[in-house]
Amino acid sequence: MRRNFVKRKLKEGKPSIGTWIGIGHPDIPEILGNLGLDWFVFDTEHGPHSIERVQQLIQAMGASPTLPLMRVPWNDMVLIKRALDIGPYGLIIPWVNSKEDAENAVKYCHYPKSGGLRGTGPRRASNYGLDREYFDVVDEEILIGVQIETEKALKNLEDILFVDGIDVAYVGPMDLSMSLGVFRQFSHPKFSKALDTIIEKAKAASVAPGIHCTIGNINDYIERGFQFNSLTSDTDLFLYGAIQAMKGIKGWKPLESAPAAYLF
């Protein structure tokens, strides 16, 4: 098993940049895997990917130094077990709202030797049994990220983040802003205060704060103290590139429906 350089980077207080993969064709991670991003998150909560498809997408990254991660659909022992067995180097786990939720997330990711509940049958993750050191190192190498996306999670933040084994507190801005009653108002004082609280409490717990970024705000979030930062998603990257290219064509104007974030 490769050592998880993303975990090392975060522990050293450095920012780590990746993107989310929602397009289910192996060409996407194969192409983007040449760019030098630290990680991809294959999304199976809101994305259309099946477990079989994510395995194929990870296999397409064989020549890339980028680490594959995965967002599971739910904080569920069976879903997490199946996800880890196809070989990602970490999981993003949604809707973690309490200490118990966080403890369960860690238990589901770790084997009993580390106090966890993960069943023993890693298949591809252990190179089909050929990786003899897999069980010795996996619990240290798997990155565990919990999503902070509700007002309830904010109230329980210290209890969540001080659970041993949590590596990343990842903010979903859309869900969090909706839960706080300021949907998509990312400059609203209530939302801004929530981000400051997450950064402060994550740092105190030696957990890396992370957030889903746009192309326009990622540097601001890094300067603010966020470490595990997504450079939007594969879809947005392709849209942005296409719109920027087409803006260079004389006489061409973007459709009024084109997302404003891509037109700056």
Mean pLDDT of 130-142: 97
Nearest by Cα to 158 from 202, 219, 104, 224:
202
CB atoms within 10 A of CB 193: 12
Please give the average per-residue pLDDT across 24-47, as a whole number: 97
Catalytic residue among 46, 49, 110, 212: 46
Backbone phi and psi for residue 19, each to the nearest 5 degrees, phi listed first: -150, 170
Query: Looking at residue 264, what is its pLDDT?
Result: 43
Report whether pLDDT(237) > 70: yes
Contact partners, residue 127, CB within 8 Å, separation at least 6: 134
Whether the pLDDT of residue 191 is over 80: the answer is: yes
State the pLDDT confidence band at 245, using cuts at 50, 70 and 90.
confident
The length of the chain is 264
- H-helix or E-strand spanning residue 151: helix 151-155
pLDDT in tens, 194-209: 999 999 999 999 999 9
Determine if residue 251 is left, alpha or beta; phi over 0 gives left, psi from -120 to 50 gives alpha, anything else beta. Answer: left
- Other beta carbons less than 10 A from residue 46's beta carbon: 11
Mean pLDDT for the stretch of residues 136-146 = 98
Percent pLDDT > 70 in the chain is 97
pLDDT band at 246 (very low <50, low <70, confident <90, very high): confident
Contact assessment for residue 90 and residue 6, using Cβ atoms and an 8 Å cutoff: yes
Between 37 and 261, whose confidence is greater? 37
Instruction: Average the pLDDT over 57-68 and give the result.
Output: 97
Which region, left, alpha or beta, applies to residue 184 given φ > 0 means left and ψ of -120 to 50 means alpha?
left
Cα distances from 230 to residues 64, 107, 172, in angstroms, run 18, 26, 11
Mean pLDDT of 74-94: 98
User: Across residues 92-112, what is the average pLDDT?
Assistant: 98
How far apart are the C-alpha atoms of 212 and 186, rounded to whole Å? 12
Please give the DSSP secondary-structure letter assigned to residue 118: -
5-262: CATH topology is TIM Barrel (3.20.20)
pTM score above 0.75: yes
1 closest CA partner among 122, 160, 179: 122
pLDDT for residue 262: 53
51 with 44: CB under 8 angstroms?
yes
Neighbouring CB atoms inside 10 A of 51's CB total 16
Determine the pLDDT at residue 263: 46
pLDDT, average across residues 207-218: 96
Over residues 85-92, mean pLDDT: 98
What is the domain partition of the chain in residue ranges? 5-262
- DSSP class of residue 65 equals -
49 is catalytic: no
Nearest to 153 by CA among 219, 218, 105, 86: 105
**Residue in the block written with tokens 């880890």:** 84
